[in-house]
Amino acid sequence: MARIRHYDYNQTSMVVINYQDQLQLGTFEHALHYLISKKLNLSAFHQPYKNDREGRPAYDPAILLKIILFAYSKGITSSREIQWCCETNIIFKALSCDTVPHFTTIAHFVSSQPQSIEDLFEQVLLVCDQQGLLGHELFAIDGCKMRANAAKEWSGTFKELEEKRQKLKRLIRHHLSEHQDRDIRKAKAILTLDKAAKKIDHFLQQNQPRMGQGKRSKEIKSNITENQFRSRDPKFAHQKEKYGKQIYSHRMSVVEPVFDNIGTNKRLNRFSLRGKTKVQGQWQLYCLVHNVEKLAKYGHLSP
């Protein structure tokens, strides 16, 4: 009979952990910790806080950034899962100094700081330039389709959108005829309805119905918000010329690896936020992760 090493689940042991030692030199978590702690200016993230004299102490934005970016690098986007990782994973514990922010705090931080995230992205890009990681030879711009949350009220066939437009116009006429006292709240309601009606009207004028494939193709429901992300920069209207084709061919080695890394390795196949500004902020967080990975692998960051 084979002899098995003895083990006992009831045994007690004391494990002494130094969180700094968990962030090994050359790893992504070390580069992330060093950049946020030593290199980047996070003053923009502190401005929304108004608890300098009263109120509960807030979590340091540096800690929130570290755990969120590290989670994104592992393909974790759920705020609840990030909170769970802070409770159970030693690297998350090291980055958060054994604090456990609530998932609502994490979600609010991601969705409420798009402008500060953009500023942080620029700072990391400057660090990449200082480290000699930018060649200054070719700057490529490309795009990829990515799912995001969209309100159902802005979805429908052209017939359904036309009916919605007529309904909004009837509501506007009702408010204008019934409420002539210029009440501020009612005036705001009228402006909101008018804006929604114009939004649908503009979409119906600028777009055509989308038909499905097959012999009995039916109209596919359109979403008005999708059109906001499909605009093309007119500066690239002549990219099909000979010189443009030559430059465009480099996208496979310049831009596509970035999309592949973020979409496949980081498992970003859908944004968890709604609205162009918030989605842009979350996308820049993923781009931050990509750039920090480059710094960790090819940069020369001090310990």
Q: Where are the alpha helices (DSSP H) in the chain?
A: 28-34, 43-46, 61-73, 79-88, 90-96, 103-112, 114-130, 158-178, 184-206, 242-248, 251-254, 256-260, 276-298
Residue 185 tokens read as: 């709240």
| Burial classification of residue 264, based on how many CB atoms lie within 10 Å of its CB (0-12 exposed, 13-18 middle, 19 or more buried) | exposed
**pLDDT at residue 179 in the model:** 58
pLDDT at 14: 85
Q: Do the beta carbons of residue 61 and residue 109 sit within 8 Å?
A: yes
Cα 1 → chain centroid: 57
pLDDT at 23 (0 to 100): 92
Name every residue whose Cβ is closer than 8 Å to that of residue 236 and which is 6 or more positions away in sequence.
141, 244
What span, in angstroms and rounded, lies between the C-alpha atoms of 266 and 269?
Answer: 9
Q: Could you tell me the end-to-end alpha-carbon distance of the chain, in angstroms, rounded to an integer?
A: 51
Q: Is the dihedral of CA 279, 282, 286, 288 positive or negative?
A: positive
Q: Please give the pLDDT value at position 143.
A: 76
pLDDT of residue 153: 66
Beta partners for 65? Answer: none
Q: Dump the DSSP string for 21-77.
A: GGS-TTSHHHHHHHIIIII---HHHHTT---SSSSPPPPPHHHHHHHHHHHHHTT--
Separation of alpha carbons 68 and 151, rounded Å? 26
Spatial separation of the C-alpha atoms in residues 66 and 101, rounded to whole Å: 12
Rounded to two decimals, the pTM is 0.71
Give me the DSSP letters along 105-116.
Answer: HHHHHHHH-HHH
Q: Give the 3-state secondary structure of residue 153.
A: helix
What Rg value do the Cα atoms of the chain yield, rounded?
A: 25
Give the length of the chain.
303
pLDDT per 10-residue tile (average), the chain, 303 residues: 89 87 92 93 90 87 95 93 95 94 94 91 92 81 74 71 80 68 63 78 78 71 60 54 69 79 85 83 91 89 68
